[in-house]
C-alpha cells in the first residue's frame, strides 16, 4: 500500500507522533500534529489505553472507528474579494487601478497545518508620480544649490517620458539650532557665517523647512530654489532624518496623493544624526513620529525631541508608501548602503560633488524601483508563520523569496503564500494582517480564525452514567471527578494493587511511571515540574529535555516533544537553529551566493578562494573572473556568444566603461579567431566593472605564395650569409699563413747570407794578406 505523507513523516521520526503524544482529550490530540485525528466512538479501543483514540485517520478507520466518529478538521482558504488586475496601460480612472490580486482573504487555520493562496502583482504603465526633493542646505552644499536652480524644468521633461502625471515638491534642512549642533553665540544668531571669509553671509540654521507642496507647476520649483540661501552648522553630521520623517508623516502639507508613486529624494554630502545623538544637546524625549510643522511650515519640535531612530523612520516611510532615494557623494556610499538594509524600500545612488548628475540619478533610481516587486507583511501575528515562494518572469519557483527583480512595466508576477498557526489562542480569537508590495497603496487583507475545537464537545454529558456517575463524558472518554480514576471512573484514589502497579511499568525492571509519577488504578499520574510538563502513559516524556542553542530550548524555533525538537517551518537541525531561508544568500544577479559558495543556515559560506561579501559577490582575484565575464562582453557589446538576449539582460548587469585603473587584464580568442581584450574589477559596492575594446582584434589569413617566397628567401639569405662568413674566415686564415711563410723565407735568406760571410773569413782571408792588387 502507498503510504501517505503523514505516515512517512511518522516513520522518519521513528514513532507515531499521534499516539506518542498520549493525548487524553480531543483538543489535545488535534494540537499534536495536523495529521492526527480523534475517534469519538464509545466502544472504540476497549483493550487499548485511552490515548489510542488519537491516531492517523487511516489507522483509526483500520482499527474499526467509523468515519462519522472521526474528528479531523483541516485548514482552508476563502477568497472574499478578487477584482482583476488592471491592464498594462492604466487607461481607466486612477481610483480603479488594481495592482494586486486578490484583495481580501479569510483563513481558517488548524495549528500545524498550512493554508496556501496565490498573490499576483502587476505594475501598470503611466502611473502618477509624486517627487519631493529634500535638500541639505548646509554651507558645503552651496555649489549644489547653484546647479539645481533650473532642475524643475529639466526633471519634468525627463519624467514626462515615463509618466504623463508628474508633480514636484521641495524642502530643505540643516540641523537643530542648539549647541553643540549649531553656532549659538549671540554674534552668530542672525548670521552663522559671521567672520567666515569664503562665505561671509548665510541664514540661521534650521531643522526642516517645507518650501513647496507637490505641484505640476514646475516653474514654482525653480522660483523657490532660486530664493534659497545656505546655512552653517557646527558639527559634520546633518539633521536630515528629522526632515525625512516630517516629509513622510505630514501628508496633507506635502500633498502626497493616495493614487501615485511617492518618491522622496534626499541629497546630502555628509552623514546624518541618529537617535540618542540629541542627548548631546539635552534632548531626552524620543521622537513621537508625528507631524510638527507650524504655520510657517517649519519643524517646530526640532529643539524639543531627539532625532528619529532607523526603525521609526522605516515604519513611517512604509506606512505612507514612500520610496526613499539617498543621493549622496561617493565617500558616503557604503554608509548609506548599510542604511538601505535596515530601511525597507530605500535605494542609494552616487551624487556628483556639484549635483550635475541629479536628473540621471533620479531617473535611474525610479527605473530601478519600478523594475522590482517586493512583498512585506504588516501586523504579523506572533503565533502565525508565513512562507513565500516567488514565481517571477521566468516562471521558476524560488522558495523563500519575497521579491522579483528585472521586471518590465506590465509584467505579472505571482507569489505563493503558505500560512500556518503554531498554537491555539483563546476561543473566539481572530487575527488579521496585511500583505503589501513595497511602495504600493494596494494591499491584500488577510483575516485568520482558528480551528481548535472538536464538534463532539457540543454533546458533553456531565455526571454521565457511562462514567459511573463520577465524571463527564465527552468525545468518547470519561473525565473523572477528583478522587476517581479509571477509563470509566470505576476506581477510587488509593486503591492500587500489584497487578495495577505492573501496568504502570513501561518494561520489566523499570521504575513505575519512570520514577516521575504515581501509579493509581493502572494509570500513571505524572508529577508537576518547574521546568515544564511531564506526560506519557508511563511519564516517559516531557517538553523540556531537548537540545538548546545559546540556552534557548530548540533555539526558540521549535517545540520540544519527548526529547526531540520539532522545528517550526523554515528551520532544521537537532536544536532548530538552522534557517532554511535562502533569500539572504541571493546575489543581485539572482544566483545563490554569486555561484561562489553555498547557503548554510541563511548565510553564504564562500568556497571560491578569494571570494568574500555577504553573498560572495566580491572576488577580484578569482581564477575564473575572466571566463565568467567573457560571455557578458560578447552578448552586451557584440550580440554574439552563447547567451540569448533575455538571459544576457538577466545575468549581465555589470557596468561597462572605457577606462578603469587597477583592473585585471583578460584576453581570450573568439570562435572567429579574433582576440578580445577586456578588464575586470570590483567596485566598492560589490558591482563588477568591465572595461572593453569596442572591436575585437582580428588578423587576416596569410597568403601561401608570400609565405613560400619568404621561406625560400630566408633560406637563401642565410646561405649567402654563411658563405660570406666562411669566405671571410678562409681569407683571414690564408693571410695569416702567407705572412708566416714570408717571415720564414726572410729568415732563411738571412741565415744563408750570414753563414756565407762567416765562411770567407775563416778560409780565404789569411792567404790574401801578402798579395797586392
Last residue of one domain, picked from the residues 338, 353, 371: 371
In this structure, are residues 175 and 238 in contact, taking their beta carbons and an 8 Å threshold? yes
pLDDT classification of 660: cutoffs 50, 70, 90: low
d(CA 592, CA 610): 17
* pLDDT computed for residue 1 by the predictor: 32
d(CA 371, CA 609): 33
Same domain, yes or no: 158 and 116 = no
In this structure, are residues 123 and 370 in contact, taking their beta carbons and an 8 Å threshold? yes
Answer whether residue 517 is part of any domain: no
Answer whether residue 353 is part of any domain: yes
Instruction: Tell me if residue 60 falls in helix, strand or coil.
Output: helix
Mind listing the pLDDT tens digit for each residue in 6-26?
444 444 444 567 876 667 888
pLDDT at 361 over 50: yes
Same domain, yes or no: 166 and 287 = yes
Mind listing the pLDDT tens digit for each residue in 345-354?
899 999 887 7
**CATH assignment at residue 678:** 4.10.1240.30
Same domain, yes or no: 161 and 42 = no
Q: Centre a 10 Å sphere on the Cβ of residue 243 and count the other Cβ atoms it contains.
A: 29
d(CA 275, CA 7): 54
d(CA 28, CA 18): 10
**CATH assignment at residue 308:** 3.40.50.410
C-alpha cell at 763: 778560409
What is the average pLDDT across 162-184? Answer: 90
Smallest Cα–Cα separation from 450: which of 411, 478, 424, 422?
Answer: 424
Would you give the DSSP letter of residue 667? E
pLDDT at 676 over 80: no
pLDDT classification of 525: cutoffs 50, 70, 90: confident
d(CA 266, CA 628): 36
What is the average pLDDT across 671-686? Answer: 62
pLDDT classification of 103: cutoffs 50, 70, 90: very high
d(CA 241, CA 312): 10
Mind listing the pLDDT tens digit for each residue in 685-702?
545 666 655 566 666 666
Place of cell 544649490: 145
Answer whether residue 491 is part of any domain: no
pLDDT classification of 305: cutoffs 50, 70, 90: very high
What percentage of the chain exceeds 70 in pLDDT? 84
DSSP string, 155-186: HHHHHTTT-S-EEEEEEEE---SSTTTB--SG
pLDDT at 3 over 60: no
What is the average pLDDT across 106-111? Answer: 92
pLDDT at 106 over 90: yes
* Domain interval for residue 643: 625-692
Answer whether residue 355 is part of any domain: yes
pLDDT classification of 209: cutoffs 50, 70, 90: very high
pLDDT at 95 over 70: no
Same domain, yes or no: 155 and 255 = yes
Same domain, yes or no: 223 and 309 = yes
Same domain, yes or no: 215 and 283 = yes
What percentage of the chain exceeds 90 in pLDDT? 29
d(CA 227, CA 170): 12
Mean pLDDT of the chain: 83
What is the average pLDDT across 355-383? Answer: 88
Which one has a higher pLDDT value, 473 or 633? 473
What is the average pLDDT across 254-276? Answer: 92
* pLDDT computed for residue 135 by the predictor: 92
d(CA 243, CA 264): 11
Indicate the range of 140-154, 394-408, 566-580 predicted with least confidence.
140-154
pLDDT at 762 over 60: no
Same domain, yes or no: 271 and 397 = no
Give backbone dihedrals phi and psi of 39, rounded to 5 degrees, phi first: -100, 125
Determine if the pTM surpasses 0.75: no
Instruction: Tally the residues of the chain.
Output: 773
Indicate the range of 207-211, 492-496, 539-543, 659-663 predicted with least confidence.
659-663
Smallest Cα–Cα separation from 334: which of 688, 615, 686, 690?
Answer: 686
Last residue of one domain, picked from the residues 418, 450, 482: 450
pLDDT at 158 over 60: yes
Indicate the range of 147-151, 163-167, 176-180, 619-623 predicted with least confidence.
619-623
* pLDDT computed for residue 214 by the predictor: 95
pLDDT classification of 132: cutoffs 50, 70, 90: very high
Mind listing the pLDDT tens digit for each residue in 744-761?
888 887 777 777 655 554
Provide the domain count of the chain: 4
Mind listing the pLDDT tens digit for each residue in 396-434?
999 999 999 888 888 899 999 999 998 888 888 899 999
Which one has a higher pLDDT value, 541 or 647? 541
Same domain, yes or no: 347 and 397 = no
Which one has a higher pLDDT value, 593 or 93? 593
Angle at 279 between CA 274 and CA 282, to 5 degrees: 140
* pLDDT computed for residue 643 by the predictor: 74
CB neighbour class for 697 (10 Å; exposed up to 12, middle 13-18, buried from 19): exposed
State the pairing for strand pair 688-692/675-682. Answer: antiparallel
Same domain, yes or no: 202 and 134 = yes
C-alpha cell at 188: 552668530
d(CA 149, CA 160): 19
Last residue of one domain, picked from the residues 371, 404, 431: 371
**CATH assignment at residue 54:** 3.30.1680.10
Answer whether residue 435 is part of any domain: yes
DSSP string, 295-314: TTSBBTTTTTSPPPPHHHHH
Contacts of 374 (CB under 8 A, 6+ apart): 344, 345, 402, 403, 404, 437, 438
Same domain, yes or no: 121 and 133 = no
* pLDDT computed for residue 683 by the predictor: 57
Smallest Cα–Cα separation from 171: which of 200, 139, 211, 201?
Answer: 211
What is the average pLDDT across 516-520? Answer: 78
pLDDT at 707 over 70: yes
* pLDDT computed for residue 212 by the predictor: 94
Answer whether residue 211 is part of any domain: yes
In this structure, are residues 44 and 53 in contact, taking their beta carbons and an 8 Å threshold? yes
> Residues 174, 175, 181, 187: is their CA dihedral positive or negative?
positive
d(CA 401, CA 419): 15
Same domain, yes or no: 293 and 257 = yes
Same domain, yes or no: 410 and 362 = no
Smallest Cα–Cα separation from 556: which of 400, 385, 387, 419?
Answer: 385
**CATH assignment at residue 111:** 2.60.40.1510
pLDDT at 515 over 90: no
Answer whether residue 660 is part of any domain: yes
What is the average pLDDT across 221-243? Answer: 89
pLDDT at 769 over 60: no
Answer whether residue 360 is part of any domain: yes
Instruction: Tell me if residue 17 falls in helix, strand or coil.
Output: helix
Amino acid at each position: 500500500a502507498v503510504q501517505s505523507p503523514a505516515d512517512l513523516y511518522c516513520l522518519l521520526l521513528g514513532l507515531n507522533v499521534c499516539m506518542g503524544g498520549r493525548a487524553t482529550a480531543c483538543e489535545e490530540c488535534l494540537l499534536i500534529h495536523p495529521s492526527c485525528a480523534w475517534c469519538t466512538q464509545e466502544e472504540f479501543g476497549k483493550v487499548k489505553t485511552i490515548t489510542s483514540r488519537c491516531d492517523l485517520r487511516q489507522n483509526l478507520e483500520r482499527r474499526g472507528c467509523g468515519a462519522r466518529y472521526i474528528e479531523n478538521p483541516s485548514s482552508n482558504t476563502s477568497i472574499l474579494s478578487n477584482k482583476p488586475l488592471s491592464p498594462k496601460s492604466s487607461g481607466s480612472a486612477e481610483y480603479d487601478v488594481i495592482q494586486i490580486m486578490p484583495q481580501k482573504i479569510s483563513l481558517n487555520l488548524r495549528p500545524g497545518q498550512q493554508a496556501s493562496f496565490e498573490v499576483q502583482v502587476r505594475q501598470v504603465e503611466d502611473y502618477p508620480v509624486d517627487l519631493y526633493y529634500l535638500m541639505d542646505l548646509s554651507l558645503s552644499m552651496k555649489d549644489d544649490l547653484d546647479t539645481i536652480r533650473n532642475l524643475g524644468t529639466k526633471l519634468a521633461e525627463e519624467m514626462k517620458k515615463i509618466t504623463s502625471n508628474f508633480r514636484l515638491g521641495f524642502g530643505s534642512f540643516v540641523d537643530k539650532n542648539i549647541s553643540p549642533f549649531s553656532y549659538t553665540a549671540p554674534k552668530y544668531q542672525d548670521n552663522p557665517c559671521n567672520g567666515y571669509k569664503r562665505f561671509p553671509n548665510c541664514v540661521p540654521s534650521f531643522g526642516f523647512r517645507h518650501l513647496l507642496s507637490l505641484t505640476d507647476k514646475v516653474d514654482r520649483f525653480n522660483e523657490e530654489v532660486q530664493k534659497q540661501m545656505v546655512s552653517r552648522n557646527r558639527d559634520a553630521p546633518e539633521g536630515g532624518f528629522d526632515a525625512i520623517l516630517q516629509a513622510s508623516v505630514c501628508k496633507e502639507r506635502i500633498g502626497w496623493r493616495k493614487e501615485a508613486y511617492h518618491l522622496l529624494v534626499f541629497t546630502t554630502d555628509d552623514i546624518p544624526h541618529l537617535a540618542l545623538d540629541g542627548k548631546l544637546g539635552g534632548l531626552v524625549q524620543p521622537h513621537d513620529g508625528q507631524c510638527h510643522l507650524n504655520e510657517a511650515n517649519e519643524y517646530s519640535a526640532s529643539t524639543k525631541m531627539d532625532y528619529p531612530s532607523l526603525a521609526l523612520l522605516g515604519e513611517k516611510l512604509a506606512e505612507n508608501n514612500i520610496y526613499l532615494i539617498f543621493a549622496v557623494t561617493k565617500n558616503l556610499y557604503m554608509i548609506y548602503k548599510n542604511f538601505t538594509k535596515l530601511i525597507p524600500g530605500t535605494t542609494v545612488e552616487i551624487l556628483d560633488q556639484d549635483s550635475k548628475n541629479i536628473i540621471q540619478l533620479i531617473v535611474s533610481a525610479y527605473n530601478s524601483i519600478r523594475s522590482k516587486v517586493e512583498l512585506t507583511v504588516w501586523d504579523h501575528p506572533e503565533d502565525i508563520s508565513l512562507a513565500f515562494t516567488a514565481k517571477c518572469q521566468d516562471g521558476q519557483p524560488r522558495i523563500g523569496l519575497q521579491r522579483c527583480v528585472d521586471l518590465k512595466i506590465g509584467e505579472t508576477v505571482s507569489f505563493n503564500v503558505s500560512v500556518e498557526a503554531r498554537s491555539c489562542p483563546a476561543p473566539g480569537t481572530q487575527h488579521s494582517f496585511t500583505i503589501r508590495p513595497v511602495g504600493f497603496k494596494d494591499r491584500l487583507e488577510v483575516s485568520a480564525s482558528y480551528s481548535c475545537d472538536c464538534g463532539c464537545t457540543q454533546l458533553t454529558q456531565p455526571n454521565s452514567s457511562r462514567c459511573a456517575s463520577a465524571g463527564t463524558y465527552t468525545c468518547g472518554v470519561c473525565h473523572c471527578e477528583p478522587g476517581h480514576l479509571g477509563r470509566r471512573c470505576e476506581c477510587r484514589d488509593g486503591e492500587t494493587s500489584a497487578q495495577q502497579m505492573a501496568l504502570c511499568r513501561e518494561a520489566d525492571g523499570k521504575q513505575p511511571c519512570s520514577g516521575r509519577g504515581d501509579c493509581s488504578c493502572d494509570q500513571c499520574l505524572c508529577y508537576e515540574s518547574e521546568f515544564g510538563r511531564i506526560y506519557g502513559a508511563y511519564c516517559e516524556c516531557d517538553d523540556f529535555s531537548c537540545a538548546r542553542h545559546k540556552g534557548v530550548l530548540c533555539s526558540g524555533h521549535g517545540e520540544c516533544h519527548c526529547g526531540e525538537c520539532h522545528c517550526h517551518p523554515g528551520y532544521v537541525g537537532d536544536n532548530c537553529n538552522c534557517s532554511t531561508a535562502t533569500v539572504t544568500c541571493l546575489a543581485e544577479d539572482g544566483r545563490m551566493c554569486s555561484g561562489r559558495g553555498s547557503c548554510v543556515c541563511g548565510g553564504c559560506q564562500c568556497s571560491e578562494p578569494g571570494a568574500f561579501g555577504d553573498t560572495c559577490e566580491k572576488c577580484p582575484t578569482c581564477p575564473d573572473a575572466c571566463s565568467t565575464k567573457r560571455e557578458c562582453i560578447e552578448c552586451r557589446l557584440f550580440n554574439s556568444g552563447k547567451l540569448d538576449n533575455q538571459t544576457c539582460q538577466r545575468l549581465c548587469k555589470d557596468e561597462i566603461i572605457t577606462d578603469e585603473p587597477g583592473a585585471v587584464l583578460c584576453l581570450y580568442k573568439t570562435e572567429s579567431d579574433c582576440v578580445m581584450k577586456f578588464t575586470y574589477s570590483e567596485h566598492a559596492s560589490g558591482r563588477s566593472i568591465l572595461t572593453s575594446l569596442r572591436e575585437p582584434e582580428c588578423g587576416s589569413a596569410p597568403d601561401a605564395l608570400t609565405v613560400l617566397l619568404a621561406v625560400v628567401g630566408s633560406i637563401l639569405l642565410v646561405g649567402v650569409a654563411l658563405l660570406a662568413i666562411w669566405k671571410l674566415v678562409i681569407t683571414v686564415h690564408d693571410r695569416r699563413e702567407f705572412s708566416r711563410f714570408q717571415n720564414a723565407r726572410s729568415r732563411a735568406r738571412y741565415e744563408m747570407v750570414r753563414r756565407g760571410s762567416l765562411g770567407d773569413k775563416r778560409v780565404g782571408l789569411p792567404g790574401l794578406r801578402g798579395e797586392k792588387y
